Amino acid sequence: MRRLVLASLLVASALGRSVADDDEAFQKRRGEAIDKGVAWLEKAQEKDGSWHFDPKEPLGIGIQMRTGCTAFCALALLKSGVKPDDPVIDKAFELLCASKGPDYVYAAGAVLLAIEARHHWEVSGGDDEGVTTRARNDSKPRKITDLSPRELELAEQCRDFLVKQQTPAGSWTYPVASQKGDEKSDASHPQYALLGLDAAERLGLKVPRETWAKAIDYFVTHQEKEGPEVPAFPVPGADLSYKELARIEKEMRDKIQRIESDWKGKKEGDVNAAGHTEEDEKRTVVREARDKALKTREKVKMAARGWCYAYAPAKLEGWKPIVSGSMTASALCCLFCCKAHLDAGSDYEKIRAPVDKALRDGCAWIARYYTAKRNPSEDDAKHKLLNHYYYMYGLERAGILGLVPRFGEHDWYVEGCKMFLDEQKQDGSWDAGKDRGTAGPVTDTCFALLFLSRGTTPIVKIPTRTATGVGGK
């Protein structure tokens, strides 16, 4: 019971509301939307266990990536509360394990993410994560603890493939890294490559330190060189090291355990000498941890400097880079992930300052051009960009990995949830349409589910949105 009470506190905190003022109607609508989306996606599964993109318009470039699409759908379902031994998941993994191995970077990353999500699956207990009605009603969930031999082999194949496919410049691209230089490198593939490699590390598969270092160099080098100043705001993943953030998280967990021990045997609602309930004390601990994470070390200037898909002025005639929200969110995700794997080493100190500046300024770009209604650019009137939902999922990843509760004044999660809730189709799916879309309703539904359920695995779990109430003011 205590775990569930704390979970509700943290989820309310994640949505920017106090427990007392939590909008139950909003929470209910969100849970129902996730469950409807899950039901639609399950029905879209083929008899052989696969999912596929729209065969009429496969990504717009003739690529289906059947294995990658299947893995991505399995990931969305697992993160939305579907059990790891559900028949839908079993069928998907039978197909994945029967595959010959990875062929595209996106697919390899998605497969690793799906394997890790199944391996470490558990009912969400809060901690800034979403809880679906499906998960809440599952009284005896099964937690996978061991990979099958084929799952382990597939994970190793994907890890090796991604390490090998990194370009000389430190990025990734279609379909293999055979070029000399970075003219074919881009800022999209690395998001899935590095998150896949991060998942591999959580599975116990080692990734060369050089892989993370080369990727950091690519994104620091290819960021805009200058941009307009933006009022400073906290970016915990840049303001502090992940070692420091992990220490804050551990202190929070230890204090919560001591509170639970102190209240053992007491009834719900009992108070201590200070007149606080158990939940009041826990809320105070969460608030203290949040305040430590959101306290920047110093006053820093932030300039809106983003990223475009690729730079290739010498090779592609007429090519003009367009800095966008989707690519800036992707780059932030990659840099936060790489920093987490490198910043404990002494050799990281010489690049810490430029990396942290790149992260702050990238977040500043999101803040300056922020919108949840489309994939933004620096000139929305001139550039009508696609990949809206892809951008929103990238925004979720950047926000979670960097512990950024707001980009400037924008509560990205609440605003994004409202957008997805308003745009869900009657049948439970999402489809942004050709003017804002990606590759049709299958992938758009996955993006929506992963956003609503806060599907990104945090590097450090510290609630960073305001929780109020007695003891937590």
Please report which confidence band the pLDDT of residue 384 belongs to, taking 50, 70 and 90 as the band edges. Answer: confident
Domain that holds residue 423: 2-264+275-452
Average pLDDT over residues 170-175: 86
Residue 8, domain member (yes or no): yes
Enter the DSSP assignment of 230: E
Asked, for residue 457, whether it belongs to a domain, the answer is: no
pLDDT of 107 higher than 80: yes
311 belongs to a structural domain: yes
The answer as to whether 471 is a domain residue is: no
CA 107, 108, 110, 116: dihedral to nearest 10 degrees?
160
Collapsing DSSP to helix, strand or coil, 421 comes out as helix
Q: Any idea what the CATH number is for the domain that residue 118 is in?
A: 1.50.10.20
Report which DSSP code applies to 334.
H
Give CA angle at 198 (354, 322), nearest 5°: 50
Residue type, 408: G
Q: Could you read off the pLDDT of 27-37 as tens digits, one per residue?
A: 889 999 999 99
- Average the pLDDT over 106-112 and give the result: 95
Is residue 16, in this structure, part of any structural domain at all? yes
Give the tokens for residue 364: 């500043």
* Residue 423 maps to a domain: yes
Backbone angles phi, psi at 294, to 5 degrees: -95, 0
Q: Does residue 328 surpass a pLDDT of 90?
A: yes
pLDDT at 52: 84
pLDDT of residue 317: 54
Residue-level pLDDT at 330: 97
Q: What is the mean pLDDT of residues 238-243?
A: 94
Q: Is residue 461 part of a domain?
A: no
Residue of 131, 133, 208, 128 whose CA lies nearest to 166: 208
Q: Please answer whether residues 414 and 90 qualify as being in contact, where contact means their C-beta atoms are separated by less than 8 angstroms.
A: no
Is the predicted pLDDT of residue 77 greater than 70, yes or no? Answer: yes
Q: What is the pTM of this model?
A: 0.87
Please count the CA atoms within 13 angstroms of the CA of 115 that sit on its side-chain side.
Answer: 37
Residue 383 is predicted with a pLDDT of 74
Is the CB of residue 370 less than 8 Å from the CB of residue 416?
no
The total of structural domains in the chain comes to 1
* Number of other CB atoms surrounding residue 217 within 10 Å: 17
pLDDT of residue 216 exceeding 90, the answer is yes
What six digits make up the tokens of 52?
């596929």
Q: Look at residue 180 and give its three-state secondary structure.
A: coil
d(CA 84, CA 77): 9
Helix H or strand E encompassing 132: none
User: Quick check: 169 and 220 in contact, CB under 8 A?
Assistant: no
Question: pLDDT averaged over the chain?
Answer: 84
Spatial separation of the C-alpha atoms in residues 416 and 396, rounded to whole Å? 9
Angle between helices 325-342 and 388-401 (to 10 degrees): 30
Does residue 472 lie within any of the structural domains?
A: no
Share of the chain above pLDDT 70, in %: 81
pLDDT at 312: 58
